[in-house]
Amino acid sequence: MGAAWRGVRDQFRRAGIDTAELDARLFAEAAFGMDRLELVNREREAVPQHQLSILDDYAARRLKGEPVVRILGEKEFWGLSFKLNAATLVPRPETEMLVERGLEVIGPLNDARVLDLGTGTGCIPISLLTEYSDVTAVAVDLSVDALEIARLNANRHGVGDRFTTLKGSWFDPLDPGQRFDLITSNPPYIESADIETLMPEVREHDPRLALDGGSDGLDAYRAIAAEAGHFLKPEGVLLLEMGTGQGQAVHDLLVGAGFGEVEIVRDYGGHDRMAVARLRTAP
């Protein structure tokens, strides 16, 4: 068993993979169905051929440049494990900012309603639902495959009965009379021309639909800003993730759409990362 995973580690080292030992160990734990301590304690045990085949498959995919989390199909976010598929982005730590602020918004409320646009894995609304038992959420995505994995994640974390999915573009699948206390989104914000300059692990394995924000990276923000006011309750809040350097442009779009209170929040690296917006008046 130990020889098997160290052999994979050595392959990764020869290929110049910086995290060779960590990657090989994670693959071995997944392929052999054990944790790190078991991997150490059972060092000298033989491995069944079908498990070695799984390990070899993982290694081959990694050597072709596929990210570890894509291969394992799972990523931790907000202390929870989220399943992935080809239609979803990998949840990233920066997005937890939306959960943190979202909890501040819905905490004082009773029976709060949340809308998440472009939900992907569902990591934002599901994380919120696990913190408050009286909150309900609607998750919208264009991808049927993304909605399927979001429902799986919701059921996995015990909030499926308060989690509704709708297929469509932004607000299109919603009934006009629906109102929410909180609207969240981590929309595509990469400029179309910049897609090909991204790191291969992102460019070749993240869904383009979740990356491409149009010629200036702001297409999704225009669409959301134009309609969000019609779906927010009077004291409702809109939370949007954004890319580096987009703060002023997103701020101006939201103010132009009738949001009188717009805060641009920076992440720990000092980059524009989140817009927090409230309407000036009811639409």
Tell me which residues of the chain have a pLDDT lower than 70. Answer: 281-283
CATH code of residue 179: 3.40.50.150
Give the pLDDT of residue 280: 72
Helices (H), the chain: 2-14, 20-32, 36-41, 49-63, 68-72, 96-106, 123-131, 144-156, 200-203, 219-228, 247-256
In a domain, 191, yes or no: yes
Domain, as residue range, for 9: 2-64
Locate tokens 């701020």: which residue? 251
Shared domain for 171 and 266, answered yes or no, is yes
Sequence-separated (6 or more) residues with CB below 8 Å from residue 27: 5, 8, 55, 58, 59, 62, 68, 71, 72
What's the Cα-to-Cα distance from 269 to each of 263, 272, 273, rounded to whole Å?
17, 9, 10
Shared domain for 203 and 272, answered yes or no, is yes
Contacts 24+ apart (CB under 8 A), 4-13: 4/28, 4/47, 4/52, 4/55, 5/39, 5/55, 8/55, 8/58, 8/59, 11/59, 11/63, 12/59, 12/62, 12/63
Strands 272-279 and 259-266: antiparallel
Total of domains in the chain: 2
Which residues in 262-271 are b (16+ Cβ under 10 Å) and which e? bebbeeeeee
pLDDT (tens digit, 9 = 90+) per residue, 147-158?
Answer: 999 999 999 999
Nearest to 121 by CA among 103, 159, 161, 148: 148
Shared domain for 174 and 213, answered yes or no, is yes
Q: Which of 33, 64, 95 is the last residue of a domain?
A: 64
Give the pLDDT of residue 200: 84
Shared domain for 206 and 173, answered yes or no, is yes
In a domain, 218, yes or no: yes
In a domain, 69, yes or no: no
Give the pLDDT of residue 281: 56
Shared domain for 60 and 140, answered yes or no, is no
Shared domain for 105 and 242, answered yes or no, is yes
Shared domain for 103 and 26, answered yes or no, is no
In a domain, 234, yes or no: yes
What are the backbone dihedrals phi and psi of residue 28, each rounded to the nearest 5 degrees, phi first?
-65, -45
Q: Which of 10, 37, 64 is the last residue of a domain?
A: 64
Gyration radius of the chain's alpha carbons: 21
Shared domain for 35 and 112, answered yes or no, is no
Q: What percent of the chain has pLDDT over 70?
A: 99
In a domain, 36, yes or no: yes
- Please state, in angstroms and rounded to a whole number, the distance separating the CA atoms of residues 58 and 66: 9
Shared domain for 81 and 58, answered yes or no, is no
Q: Which of 30, 64, 98 is the last residue of a domain?
A: 64
43, 66 Cβ separation under 8 angstroms: no
Give the pLDDT of residue 199: 86
pLDDT (tens digit, 9 = 90+) per residue, 266-281?
Answer: 999 999 999 999 987 5
Shared domain for 29 and 141, answered yes or no, is no
Shared domain for 158 and 33, answered yes or no, is no
In a domain, 166, yes or no: yes
Nearest to 115 by CA among 11, 229, 12: 229
In a domain, 266, yes or no: yes
Give the pLDDT of residue 5: 92
Shared domain for 181 and 273, answered yes or no, is yes
In a domain, 225, yes or no: yes
